[in-house]
Structure 1
Amino acid sequence: MTVVTPRPQAATPVDAATPHTLGPDSLTWRYFGDWRGMLMGLWSGSMQNMHPKLAAGVWDHSDFFGERWERLMRSLYPIIGTVFDGTDATGAEVRDYHLTIKGTMADGRRYHALDPDVFYWAHATFWYGNIRCAEVFGPKLTEADKRRLFDESRVWYSRYGVSMRPCPDTYEDFLDYWDHMCRRVLRDHDAVRTVLDITALPAPPWARRWLPEPVWRRSVGTGQRLFLWITTGLYDEPIREMMGLTWTARDERRFRTFGRAVQAGLLLVPARYRRHPRARDADDRAAGRIPADAPLLHTPVRNLPSGAEREKPIHYCPVHAARRARLPWQSNDVDD
């Protein structure tokens, strides 16, 4: 039976050598919340769902596949907020969304979303996604940067208030852990294949007012091929083999060229607008452009479930999001 420990444990504490804040001077603050992370979306979602217990929880409990855009857009706010809000409250909020996600797998094993090994795996895909993203889409990271990002990831993970037991002690230990997961633990699953198939997606909520459905339907097939190719390039080789995906030396050369083009293109965008609104909101607080105690920025109302569904924690939807303050720097019309 799975033991759920939703409070911090002392077995593997955040030690004295680990930074204890994730403020504007941290690398995590600098790299997480960048829009180029959207190119990692299928990689992150599919890698998470390759964990058998996590896949079971998503398949049995989540409405993710019924409202993928809305779920993604509203989930990003508290996940990004765990880094940028400066307290453990947002991490606890994210943790508590998972309290009721539990059940029994087809092989008789029990699962719970707050099983420390399951919860840490999801976190691993988020923080390590910073490194995988930078390796392809920039900016360049040194080995020292990667180790510092790992140290900061321990602080980030501690904010969820779950057991630190599965969290590796060093970056080298983490790389061993990641390799072990890719080779020995992760499995293909219907949830993985569904994440990777975007052909049935409707247009994003923010585009439905001006993008005709026939135009979207014609373009989504091209998007499917492109994003599956990007995701294949991001996968470790054992994952490609498990999924039956081919990757040639020519693919690798084109992928690196594509990555450099993405990095160059993003440099044409003002630095402020390369960031997700929740990260941008934190930048504004740190710079004094808005009050430090101003209400947190939540997802636009258009991304929230309707009616009684809005009250259910499985939707990753804080009820107060619908009643957020309408402040000058917060708009339900422009930010996703």
Structure 2
Amino acid sequence: MNPGDVSADSDPFRQYLANLGQDIEPGSGFFLPGTVFWRVSREPVLLLAGMRALLLQIAHPKIAQGVADHSRYREDPLGRGIRTFTAVYSLVFGDRDAAVEAAMRVRAVHNRVHGLVVDPLPSGMDPVYDANDPDLLLWVAATLLDSSVVAYELFVEPLSAEEKEQLYQQFKRFGQLFGIPEQRYPESWVDFRNWWDGMLRSDTLTVTDTARSIYRGLLTGTWFTRVLAPFNYAMAAMLLPERLAASFDMRRSLPVRFTFRAIVATARVVVRLLPRRLRGVSAARRAEHRHCA
């Protein structure tokens, strides 16, 4: 699929993606090995902050309602997780065509996700939600970025201020693949942190009864989630901002703190023992082989 071929496509979002990738060679992707974004994204330990990211997302009432109305999170959490990360890894590590097709699949899902929030909302918040709303997309993307940085620094190594700035600027391109205009992002990493802190303090993040129901379903919906529940609970309870952890009725009890410390210690040992070339997610290792070929 050449950008010139896509330009004749009637789908405006596909045309938008074609324009976004017009300077990328077909065998290459939107992101390259050697960048900070690639280095961070290839680490499988980022998945340990997955529950934190999910709960931050559904702390927004509109996102919580969209998940409740349009997702099979309770019946098929594993399948939902696999589909989500397959899409993310295709965007990050896939070649141009694979990334475009993954972005189109995500867009097709989002096109069906719209409705009305049924929970009481903060004063002035419109009850209408739409998964293609740039503000909602930006919040979801921001939770992934922040949780990735938290997990990477907790399990792998600290990032310098310069590396965080590079990571952030590269992450903007990731958000663009979902349809977030670049100008919607705060300009710099420091600006992003200020915006993030403001969001955490604001009434925009209000944990509703719907969000709490989703949270319980994520922990207890199937035998698989029940097995993982103590670990997911501990990671989320200890890594979530305190206000939101309390809103989800999460307690940082002694067993929770012990489980968290055990997970962190184990993950750090594994990270240090495994060579980097073997440690990355399979999609990253395949892409690195492709780039070296």
TM-score (norm 2): 0.77
Report what 1:194 is aligned to.
214
Q: Partners of 2:251 and 2:232 in 1: how far apart?
A: 15
Report what 1:231 is aligned to.
236
Alignment-mate amino acid for residue 199 of structure 2: M
User: Deviations 1:96-132 (Å, cap 9, x if unpaired)?
Assistant: 3211111122267211000000011111111222211
Superposition deviation, residue 45 in structure 1: 1.3
Q: Partners of 1:37 and 1:43 in 2: how far apart?
A: 11
Superposition deviation, residue 31 in structure 1: 1.2
- Pair 66,252 (structure 1): closer, same or farther in 2 beyond 3 Å: closer
Calculate the aligned-residue CA RMSD, in Å: 3.1
Q: How does 1:1-336 map to 2 (within 5 A)?
A: 22-87=31-96, 89=100, 90-106=102-118, 109-184=127-202, 185-189=204-208, 190-195=210-215, 197-203=218-224, 220=227, 223-247=228-252, 255=260, 258-288=263-293
Kindly indicate whether the alpha-carbon contact (under 8 Å) linking 1:8 and 1:162 is maintained by their aligned counterparts in 2: no
Superposition deviation, residue 253 in structure 1: 9.1
Q: Partners of 1:254 and 1:110 in 2: how far apart?
A: 40
Where in structure 1 are there 5+ consecutive unaligned residues? 14-19, 205-216, 289-336
Kindly indicate whether the alpha-carbon contact (under 8 Å) linking 1:35 and 1:275 is maintained by their aligned counterparts in 2: yes
Alignment-mate amino acid for residue 242 of structure 1: S
- Pair 164,170 (structure 1): closer, same or farther in 2 beyond 3 Å: same
Q: Partners of 2:188 and 2:212 in 1: how far apart?
A: 29
Q: Partners of 1:257 and 1:145 in 2: how far apart?
A: 28
Superposition deviation, residue 169 in structure 1: 0.9
Superposition deviation, residue 77 in structure 1: 0.9
Where in structure 2 are there 5+ consecutive unaligned residues? 1-11, 21-28, 121-125
Q: Partners of 1:238 and 1:8 in 2: how far apart?
A: 42
Kindly indicate whether the alpha-carbon contact (under 8 Å) linking 1:139 and 1:263 is maintained by their aligned counterparts in 2: no
- Pair 28,193 (structure 1): closer, same or farther in 2 beyond 3 Å: farther
Alignment-mate amino acid for residue 86 of structure 2: Y
Report what 1:302 is aligned to.
none
Kindly indicate whether the alpha-carbon contact (under 8 Å) linking 2:74 and 2:221 is maintained by their aligned counterparts in 1: no
Q: Partners of 1:65 and 1:52 in 2: how far apart?
A: 18
Kindly indicate whether the alpha-carbon contact (under 8 Å) linking 1:34 and 1:274 is maintained by their aligned counterparts in 2: yes
Report what 1:317 is aligned to.
none
Q: Partners of 1:173 and 1:151 in 2: how far apart?
A: 12
Q: Partners of 2:201 and 2:180 in 1: how far apart?
A: 26
Kindly indicate whether the alpha-carbon contact (under 8 Å) linking 1:6 and 1:114 is maintained by their aligned counterparts in 2: no
Superposition deviation, residue 162 in structure 1: 3.5
Superposition deviation, residue 62 in structure 1: 1.3
Kindly indicate whether the alpha-carbon contact (under 8 Å) linking 1:44 and 1:126 is maintained by their aligned counterparts in 2: yes
Kindly indicate whether the alpha-carbon contact (under 8 Å) linking 1:6 and 1:162 is maintained by their aligned counterparts in 2: no
After TM superposition, the runs of 4+ consecutive aligned structure 1 residues lying more than 6 A away are 248-254
**Residue 115 of structure 2: SS of its match in structure 1?**
strand
Q: Partners of 1:165 and 1:113 in 2: how far apart?
A: 19
Kindly indicate whether the alpha-carbon contact (under 8 Å) linking 1:8 and 1:163 is maintained by their aligned counterparts in 2: no
- The percent identity for this pair of structures is 24
Question: How many residue pairs align between the two structures?
Answer: 259
Alignment-mate amino acid for residue 173 of structure 1: D
Q: Partners of 1:66 and 1:270 in 2: how far apart?
A: 37
Superposition deviation, residue 193 in structure 1: 4.5
